[in-house]
């Protein structure tokens, strides 16, 4: 089977997604197929490690865990049945504090924190479609990192809607109510 064999206008579920064997990496957002960007470049990978590494060190011995892509996050709406799940995403990084959501196939339910590092060509998907999916699912914090602009934005879920932070840059330090005591220095993150 190839991605080209699928009707991209049709809606799919996780039951379909789980059977696919083609090479291309895709995500499902509200039943629609979205191609993922090609393999991340070295800057993207470095930023991912510079965020997930400190998170992993901070979370050692604590009840939360950090996961990096590829890692399926299934966001159920009605039930956890594979036929009912129409959104399956692979965030660059996610933090999950309710470990009952983690199974052998990834995460089922909203992570506490999701981090997406923008790649050229995926900004609309990240900033609109994923934003809406994460907000609707109840992800407490959605972090968006722009390597090109060296900016960092945190959306915090308040009363079921995201409230954005100010746009943060080198010199700012990221903290999180979901991870009390954790901090991420953006000067270090964006250092060449």
Q: Is residue 140 within 8 Å of residue 112, measured between CB atoms?
A: yes
Q: Does 44 map to a domain?
A: yes
The confidence score (pLDDT) of residue 127 equals 81
Q: Which domain holds residue 114?
A: 39-73+88-189
What CATH number corresponds to the domain at position 120?
A: 3.90.1570.10
pLDDT in tens, 121-148: 667 767 889 999 999 999 999 999 999 9
For the chain (length 192 residues), average pLDDT per consecutive 10?
88 94 90 81 92 96 95 93 94 97 97 93 76 96 95 97 96 94 96 82
Q: Does 106 map to a domain?
A: yes
- Three-class DSSP category at 9: coil
Neighbour count for residue 36 (Cβ, 10 Å): 17
Q: Does 161 map to a domain?
A: yes
- Three-class DSSP category at 144: strand
Q: Does 157 map to a domain?
A: yes
Q: Does 81 map to a domain?
A: no
Count how many residues are written for the chain: 192
Q: Which token pair is 92?
A: 């660059």
Q: Does 11 map to a domain?
A: no
The confidence score (pLDDT) of residue 55 equals 97
The confidence score (pLDDT) of residue 39 equals 64
Contacts of 167 (CB under 8 A, 6+ apart): 151, 152, 153
Q: In what order do the strands lie in the sheet with 93-96?
A: 65-68, 93-96, 113-117, 141-146, 151-158, 161-164
Q: Is residue 91 within 8 Å of residue 107, measured between CB atoms?
A: no
The confidence score (pLDDT) of residue 120 equals 75
Q: Does 140 map to a domain?
A: yes
Domain count, the chain: 1
């Amino acid at each position: 089977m190839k991605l080209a064999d699928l009707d991209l206008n049709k809606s799919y579920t996780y039951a379909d997604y789980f059977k696919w064997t083609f090479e291309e990496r895709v995500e499902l957002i509200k039943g629609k197929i979205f191609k993922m960007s090609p393999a991340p470049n070295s800057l993207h990978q470095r930023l991912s490690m510079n965020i997930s590494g400190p998170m992993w060190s901070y979370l050692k011995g604590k009840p939360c865990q950090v996961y990096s892509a590829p890692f399926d996050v299934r966001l159920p709406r009605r039930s956890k049945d594979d036929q009912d799940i129409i959104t399956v995403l692979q965030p660059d990084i996610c933090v999950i504090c309710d470990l009952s959501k983690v199974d052998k196939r990834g995460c089922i339910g909203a992570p506490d924190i999701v981090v997406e590092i923008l790649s050229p060509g995926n900004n609309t998907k990240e900033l609109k479609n994923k934003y809406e999916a994460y907000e609707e699912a109840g992800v407490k914090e959605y972090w968006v990192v722009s390597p090109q602009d060296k900016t960092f934005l945190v959306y915090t879920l308040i009363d079921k809607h995201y409230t954005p932070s100010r746009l943060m840059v080198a010199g700012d330090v990221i903290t999180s109510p979901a991870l009390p005591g954790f901090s991420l220095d953006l000067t270090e993150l964006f250092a060449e």
